[in-house]
Amino acid sequence: MERHMRREAQKAHKQEMKAERREERLHFRAVNAAFHGNLGKAARLETRSQAAGIRAEDAHQRQMSARSTANAIHHSHHPHYPPHHPHPNHYPHCPPPVVHYPHPPRPAVHVVHHYPSAPPPVTYTTGVAPPPPPVQNPYYPSSGYPTPVAPPPYQKYS
């Protein structure tokens, strides 16, 4: 059946090419008749040219339909992938089935973040200045997230 559909596709392709050539030839004849002032003949030839164009489109549709049917038949009876139960004598051109082994588990990576901690409170004797405050980590700003800026007010164009 696949060979029959391939033959039908080839026949439709030939019919399409023939109809396209006929359409082009009739169109040129219609233009030539119109240049010579024979408008009735030009109209008839242009009508026949359009009919040939429709036949070409129909033949193209038949060709694509037959080709897709042939491909479906081919792939349904002749898979191009290893079957579930491979039979080496039935599929000599197919590569052996690929076995996918599971990957070993990845080692767990634990990220430890060291955040600067405030020094413990120290009691100072009178007359002794306290130490300067600890240096703030530049990656953690003390002010928190920046405050969002409101968009400018809407101004109607005049």
* Tens digits of residue pLDDT in 53-63: 999 999 999 99
| Under 8 Å between Cβ of 19 and 59 | yes
- Which ranges of the chain have pLDDT less than 50? none
Residue 88: DSSP 8-state: T
- Output the pTM of the full model: 0.47
